Structure formats: structure tokens, C-alpha cells
Structure 1
Amino acid sequence: MYLAESRSSASTKVERRRWRRVPANVVALGVVSLVTDISSEMVTAILPLYLVIGLGLNPLQFGLLDGLYAGATAVLRLAGGHVADRWRRLKAVAGIGYGLSAVSKLGLLAAGSSVAAIGGVLAVDRAGKGIRTAPRDALISLSSKPEALGRSFGVHRAMDTVGALLGPLVAAGVLWASLGDFDAVFVSSFCIASCGVLLLVMLVKDHPRVGPPVAVPLRGMLKLLKIKDFRRCCGWAAALGLVTITDSFVYLALQRRWDVDTALFPLLPIGTAATFLLLAIPLGRLADRIGRWKLFLAGHASLVLALVLLCGPVKSPWLAVAALGLHGAFYAATDGVLPAAAGPLLPVHLRASGLALLQTGQALARMVSAVLVGLAWTLWDLRPALLLTTAALLVVTIAAAVVRPLEEAR
């Protein structure tokens, strides 16, 4: 009896020590991301349906808007990272980004059915995301021990994904309660996003500043590319982004191929989010052990398999479920793993700037990818567009694994 109690006590202490490895600041940032992602995914879940079916956009038009949605963050990622490092106020700059995204939800009310106005509002929303991403990831990186970065990013992304999981459910609930009123979704999204900003102010601690602000010229960020392994990381991340299909096209392809009812469309991202939630922490820990870059490339291999299922000859509903699961595995193996791999390659005082540079290249590449996929879909239809994207992604993934693999810092 005493032995059993001792073992139980020892087991409890081990579990507590494991959780202590995840810094409180990382958990606080995870809470902020969780709440913010509920707000974001409420809009993201209904947007493809609203634009393509509600407003009647063709795939090319949607690709242009989706590309804007993915790429509007690009330049402001650089600005956000630069300002955060120059003034050493990571939390304040991240807060500005969260605030912009919150306010943009009200802009959707004023945009109405105007495609140009909707594009402008989406650009503001993505600008907010662009400003906050690099300072937030820099805070996670600087709040964690180097050997546990994969775990810290995994915990943060898992909490973020809880929000992504709840967002579509909340959107569906609001639509049901409001009898299909999209404006009710936008107002609810704004209120939730505002709560996220308040939580950032109250819970998150900034990284301690040492000395006065450093006057780092914006063009000086490009000098980070002189770091060989970081330059290689940026190059391959951008190349892979260029052949990575965006989420909206995945869900639209799945809806069209399996004739998913429009009322159920907002729930499709739940399949991706649920897998992401289950795998984010285990894959983050695995990345710390086997190598973050290896796992990053394995994630792209998972996306290749998902696209094969989407454009293959068999139409079993189970294949649709498997495709969503593989799509979630792709994000679990890449979203937090990439900054965890790149962070240790950068000097501490330029961590946000370097991550912004990395994410900017990836965002611009995905913007181009969305337009190209939309164009291919318009010219040749869905299946040829997916087959072409799948083949290109497979080739680039293999090349990234074979041609001078990245040597990670530890």
C-alpha cells in the first residue's frame, strides 16, 4: 500500500515537472491565441461559402481574394518584427496586431456585398495577423529553453487549435440562432477578439529589455540572410509555400467532390483542427528529438497524401475524413516546427525580425500559390488543378530533403 502510494506520488511529481517545462508566458500566449482563433475561425469558416456560393465568385476571383488574405500579412510582418526588435516591445507590437484584427470584424458589416470592400477588410485583418505573428513567436522563443522549443511551440499551437476547433462550432451556432444572419457572426467575432486583446494585456509578460532601444535599419534585416542556414531555411520555406494549396481551396475541393451540404460546410475545418490539436504537442516533442527540419518536410509529405485523396479516383466518405486528418497532420508538423527550427539560428536581439523575414517569404509565396490554383481551376477544372499542385509539392519536398539539408542549431 505504501509502495503504491509512493509510486503514485512520484508519478504525480514527474507530471508536474513536465508541465513546468512549458513556461507560464507560453501558456498565457496560448490562451490569447485560443480566444483570438475562435474569433478568426468564425469568419474563416463561413467566408468561402459566403463568397463563392453567396456572392457567386468564380475560382479565379476567389483565388485572388484568398491570395490577398494569405499575402496581405507579408510586408507588415517585416514591419512588425522590425519595430518590435528596434524598440524592444514585443508585447506592445503584438497587441497592435491583435487590435487591428479585432476591429476588422466590424468592417465586414460595412462592406456588404462589395467584393472590393471585403478585400480591403480582409487585408486589414491579415495585416493585424502579420504585425503580431513575429513578435508573438519571438516571445515564445525567448521565453523557452532552446532544447524545448518544439514542445513550447507545440503547446502554443495546440491551444491555438482549440480555438480553431471551437470557432466553426460557434459560427454554426450563431448562424442557427440568428436564422442565417452573417452579420451576427461578424459582431460576435468582434466581441470575442476584443476579449483576446484584454487577455494579452493582463496575462502576457514582455521579454526583459536590456539597455536602450537599438536603432536597427529596416534594410539591416536582410543582412540576416548572410547566415547560411537561416538563408537556406527561408529559401526552402518560400519554395514550399509556392506549391502549398491554401485551406479554403482544400475545403472547397472537398465540398465539391463529396457534395457536402452548405449547412455543414463551416464544420469542415473541425476535421483539420481536431487532428492538429491531437498531434501538435507530440510532434513538437518529436521534432526536438529527431530534428525539426525533418519533421517540417514530413508534414509536407502528409499534405501530398491529402491532395492525392482529394483528386484520386475513389470517392469514399472515409477518404474525405482521412484527407482532413492528413491536412491537420500537415499543420501540426509545420506551423510551430518551422519557427522552432529557425529561432536558434538567429541572434536574440533580432529574433522577431528574422522570424518576420522567414514568414514574409512564406506568406508571399502562398499568395501567389492561391492565385495560380484559382487560375488552374478556372482553366482546367478542379481535378487537373489539384493534380498539378500535388506533383509540384512532391517535387519541391523531395528536393528540400535531398539538396543540402538544413543543419539545425541546438
Structure 2
Amino acid sequence: MYVASVRPAERVKGKVPGTVVALGTVSLLTDVSAEMITAFMPVYLLFTLQLGYAQFGVLDGLYTGATAVLRLVGGHLSDRTRRHKAVAAVGYGLSAATKLVFPLVGANAFGIGAALAADRAGKGLRTAPRDALISLATPPDRLGAAFGLHRGMDTVGALLGPLVTFLLLAQLGIVAGPVFVVSACFAVIGLIVLVAFVRERPGEPRGGPRPSVRAGLALLKDAGYRRVTVAAAVLGLATLSDAFVFILVQKATDVPQAALPLMPLGTALVFLVAAAPLGRLADRVGRWRVFLAGHVLLLAVYALLLVPGTGYFGVGAALLLHGLFYAATDGVLPARVSTQVPESLRASGISVVQTGQALTRLVSSVGFGFLLQFASFGVAVHTAIAALAVTVVLAWRIT
């Protein structure tokens, strides 16, 4: 799979460029690695190390929010140097290296937190440059489809990661070492594919100011871009992390704890099927409309948690809606942002929006962890429902 810059014929025919397929392969392999850890952590931290929900919330917040500042750094460096691939490679390499650190820290909560932060720092560095590579290789009218295809391939990894973890745990028991080593192997293979097969478009950007910190922040002077940035951050405050969603679904439905590592599979399978169609739908009917509709689906997930005695049917319904939420939001937001920033600041523009989301989701994880620790299950869920309903209305009014 050798990719170069997008040829004019590819643009005329409306095909998704080869660059997007190559980056999708990288993300697929990397997501196997990442989702192995995501599936394993709730079981490991809550049931093996016996951490409280408040401690888990802090660690989960680190996992979610440690990307925040480095998203800005990654976006700025890649725009400034015009080497999006190189900056992304540093991020992928950092995440791969941290997988080998987890077995060394053992049951030390501080060590686990530091390793999680380093892993997410790698994600922070790579995300904006990777999304910039996708957007710069794709015609504007195909951005939703391109991001949808990339996220769909990424989701194949999200499907395989929890399955690999489940099989390892079934064969070896809850032993951390093999999970982390296998996770590291997938991450290294993804890095090799990036270096060997992804090429970025040569030449100078076709338009926009010279990349700088000031120029990146000046994007917020544009009213449309500023509204999207603020609205995305506001919605992040009421968006529970995947780990908390799966924990709540397990508690609400009373399915066995052994099913917990498999729940990400349900979300990922729906995401895989729906990401590309919803990306194309967003291209036609409006990306922001689809993005907000996705959060309404997440609100339905929270509401299902209050329905008693649903068992595996409730798990299936919740994971279906959760997967549709991701399909309507994960690739659609950068596709929307890509049309609002010039090529010379593409990675910086994407990273500012993503940083706002990461910071507010960090606050959400820490706050909800303490709420679940010290309040009843019902109070925690009702609070999540009220917060998301309010923020959806606010985001709709802002934009």
C-alpha cells in the first residue's frame, strides 16, 4: 500500500484518497493496542486493585484529558514545520513505548496514572497532525466521507482490541503483563505502517497566514469557528467517558462483571457499520446537525440506565445508541472544523477544538467519579441526564 499526494483524477471521481486508507490502517492497528488497555483498565483498577470510583475517575480523567495541551503542541508543530507525518509518528511512538511501562509500575496507582498520562500524551501529539493529513488530502465536499471511512477502519481496531483482551483474560486470568505486551506489539506495527506507507502532500499550503501560536489563537476571532469551539467544549462537560458508560450499563442491567470487557465491542461494531454512512449524511444535510443529533442519542443512553430489569436487552440497546453517538460525532466534528480554517493552520485549528473537548471531558470524568463514589446510582445518572440535556440546548443556541 503505497500512497502519495492525491491525484486530480481521484478528486474528479470523488474517491476517498489512498492517504486516508493508509492512515486508517495505522489507526486500526493502534486502536487494537489502545482498546486492549481501555477494556482491561476497569476490571484491573476496580476489581483487582479495588480502587474507589473517585480514584478511578481521577485516573480516567487523566486518560481522557492528558491529551489536552499536547494537542495544541502537536497541531502547532506540524503546521509550523509542515511535517504532519513526523509529528504524528512521535505521538504514535510515545504511546507504543508506554505500553511496556504498565507492567513495571504494578499496582502503584501513581505509576499507573503517570503511564496513562504518557500514553494519552502520545495521542494528543498525533491526533491533530493525523486529521490534518486526512483533510489536506481530501476535497472539501468529501470530508465527511473521508473521516467516516478513517473512523470506521479505526473502529475495526476498537472491535478487535477488547476481544483480544477477553481472550487473554479467559486463558490466563487477570494478569496484566501479557495484555500490556501484546498491546505494545500492535502499537509498534502501526508505527511501522505509518513510517513506511503514509506520505504527505508536498509543497506549501494553498492559503492562510504563516503558522504561529498567535495565528492559531487568532482563529478564535472568527465568530463561526469560535461558536463551534465553545459548543464542543460545553458538550464535553456532560459527556461521560466510555469506561463510565460501560460501568453504569453493567450496574444498571445486572449482567455479570465478566461481560464488562466485551461491552466496547458492541459500541465499536455499531460505529464500524454507521461511521461512513453518517459521514456521507453529514456531507449532505449539515455536519453540525448530525453532530448535535449524536448527543441526543447519547442522552437516550443515559435514560436507558434508569429502566430496571433490562438485562442483556438493555445492554444491547445502550451499546447500539452509544455506537451511533460516536458515528455521528467522532469524525464529523473535525470534518466541520476543516472547512473553517485555512490550510496553513489546519492542524492548529483542529487541535484547538479538540483541546477544549479534552479539558472538559477531564473535568467530567473527575466530577462524575466523585459523584458516583459519594452519591447513589440514581442521583449520579439523573445528574448526567440533566447536564447533557442542558448542554445540548446550550450548544444548539450557541451555534
TM-score range, shorter chain: over 0.9
Could you list the runs of 5+ residues in structure 2 that have no partner in the other structure?
Answer: 1-9
C-alpha separation in 2, matches of 1:82 and 1:372: 30
Counterpart of 2:299 in structure 1 is: 304
C-alpha separation in 1, matches of 2:75 and 2:240: 26
Identity %: 52
Is 1:119 equivalent to 2:113 in the alignment? Answer: yes
Counterpart of 1:257 in structure 2 is: 252
Counterpart of 2:334 in structure 1 is: 339
- Give per-residue Cα distances to partners, 1:172-217, cap 9 Å, x unaligned: 1222333442210100111111000000011111132328xx9743
Counterpart of 1:26 in structure 2 is: 20
Is 1:141 equivalent to 2:124 in the alignment? Answer: no
Could you list the runs of 5+ residues in structure 1 that have no partner in the other structure?
Answer: 1-15, 406-410
Pairwise CA distance, 1:18: 11
C-alpha separation in 2, matches of 1:183 and 1:43: 11
C-alpha separation in 2, matches of 1:116 and 1:141: 38
SS of the residue corresponding to residue 264 of structure 1 reads helix
Matched letter for residue 208 of structure 1: P
Pairwise CA distance, 1:63: 0.6
Pairwise CA distance, 1:386: 1.3
Counterpart of 2:288 in structure 1 is: 293
Is 1:153 equivalent to 2:147 in the alignment? Answer: yes
Counterpart of 1:93 in structure 2 is: 87
C-alpha separation in 2, matches of 1:157 and 1:59: 30
Counterpart of 2:192 in structure 1 is: 198
C-alpha separation in 2, matches of 1:373 and 1:33: 29
Counterpart of 2:363 in structure 1 is: 368
Q: Is the 8 A contact 1:90 1:207 kept in 2?
A: no
1:163 and 1:342, CA in 2 relative to 1: closer, same or farther beyond 3 A? Answer: same
Question: TM-score scaled to structure 1, two decimals?
Answer: 0.91
SS of the residue corresponding to residue 333 of structure 1 reads helix
Matched letter for residue 271 of structure 2: F
Pairwise CA distance, 1:335: 0.3
SS of the residue corresponding to residue 263 of structure 1 reads helix
Counterpart of 1:128 in structure 2 is: 122
Find 2:320's aligned residue among 321, 325, 349: 325
Counterpart of 2:42 in structure 1 is: 48
Pairwise CA distance, 1:19: 8.8
Find 1:175's aligned residue among 162, 169, 173: 169
Counterpart of 1:8 in structure 2 is: none
Matched letter for residue 307 of structure 1: Y
Q: Is the 8 A contact 1:77 1:356 kept in 2?
A: yes
SS of the residue corresponding to residue 106 of structure 1 reads coil
Matched letter for residue 346 of structure 1: V
Matched letter for residue 146 of structure 1: P
Counterpart of 1:352 in structure 2 is: 347
Pairwise CA distance, 1:336: 0.2
Q: How many residues align?
A: 387
Matched letter for residue 374 of structure 1: G
Is 1:60 equivalent to 2:54 in the alignment? Answer: yes
SS of the residue corresponding to residue 154 of structure 1 reads helix
Counterpart of 2:96 in structure 1 is: 102
Deviating more after overlay: 380-389 vs 104-113? 380-389
Is 1:222 equivalent to 2:217 in the alignment? Answer: yes
Deviating more after overlay: 287-296 vs 307-316? 307-316
SS of the residue corresponding to residue 312 of structure 1 reads coil
Deviating more after overlay: 62-71 vs 314-323? 314-323
1:83 and 1:324, CA in 2 relative to 1: closer, same or farther beyond 3 A? Answer: same
C-alpha separation in 1, matches of 2:177 and 2:239: 31
- Give per-residue Cα distances to partners, 1:106-161, cap 9 Å, x unaligned: 01011100000000000000000000000000011111000010000000000000
Find runs of 4+ consecutive structure 1 residues off by over 4 angstroms: 16-20
Q: Is the 8 A contact 1:36 1:193 kept in 2?
A: yes
C-alpha separation in 1, matches of 2:24 and 2:148: 10
- Give per-residue Cα distances to partners, 1:77-125, cap 9 Å, x unaligned: 0000000000000000000000000001001011100000000000000
Q: Is the 8 A contact 1:77 1:133 kept in 2?
A: yes
Counterpart of 2:64 in structure 1 is: 70
Deviating more after overlay: 296-305 vs 391-400? 391-400
